[in-house]
Structure 1
Amino acid sequence: MDIAILFLTCVVILGVASIRNHLSRADRRAARVERKLDAVMEHLGLREEIPGRDEILDLVRRGKKIQAIKLYRENTGADLVEAKQAVDRLG
């Protein structure tokens, strides 16, 4: 019985490790595609349309960076790191 539990535990651990590895590779591929898309947009002179951009810029200009990041996240659904980077680029 103890050997069966140990075996099942090992199988679960290996399964979780495999899933993490696949997710990590997918994240790296998505990041690479996003960097390429950003480069193409920059080359073409295009910029991403940000909902509420004027209001976010106003917050940045008034020194309310945290509120600007929060508003960016609310408007775009971005995570904290992405929102901070975007607001930094705007400011």
Structure 2
Amino acid sequence: MEYIVVVAGVILVVGLAMLAAGSRGQDRRNTAIRLAAIERKLDLIMKHQGIVEPRIEAPDVVQELMQGRKIQAIKIYRERTGVGLAEAKNAVEQIARERGLDVR
């Protein structure tokens, strides 16, 4: 009889722990969705107001480009800015074009 009570208690504790972990994961997903919506709205406001986000010029990005290491330059740019891969690639290619560097 005692064995059943112990097993039931363990099952209850594990179930509550799983429920708590699941709700935290859902909170993170909800927060990520809300943050993405806020970022989209902010982008629209900035575009409407004609505000251009200043591009971060990192000398080490330029140095990598000058040595022909485009992928490394993109990695560094992403680390500095936190942007996605496509945006970093476009920014690095723009920096290369402005400096007359031929990186493919």
Equivalent in the alignment of 2:37: 32
Rate the CA distance shift 1:51–1:83 in 2: closer, same or farther, 3 A: same
* Code of the aligned partner of 2:87: A
% identical equivalent positions:
29
TM-score by length of 2: 0.65
Where in structure 1 are there 5+ consecutive unaligned residues? none
Structure 2 CA distance for aligned equivalents of residues 85 and 54 of structure 1: 20
Which residues in structure 2 correspond to 1:12-27 (within 5 Å)? 12-27=17-32
Number of residues of Structure 1 aligned to a counterpart in Structure 2? 84
TM-score by length of 1: 0.72
Which residues in structure 2 correspond to 1:1-91 (within 5 Å)? 1-52=6-57, 56=61, 59=65, 64=70, 66-76=71-81, 78=82, 82-90=83-91, 91=93
* Bigger radius of gyration: 2
- Provide Cα deviations, 1:37-91, integer angstroms capped at 9, x if missing partner: 11111222222223216875783xx681x22321212322x1xxx3313224434
Q: Which runs of 4+ in 1 moved over 3 A?
A: 53-59
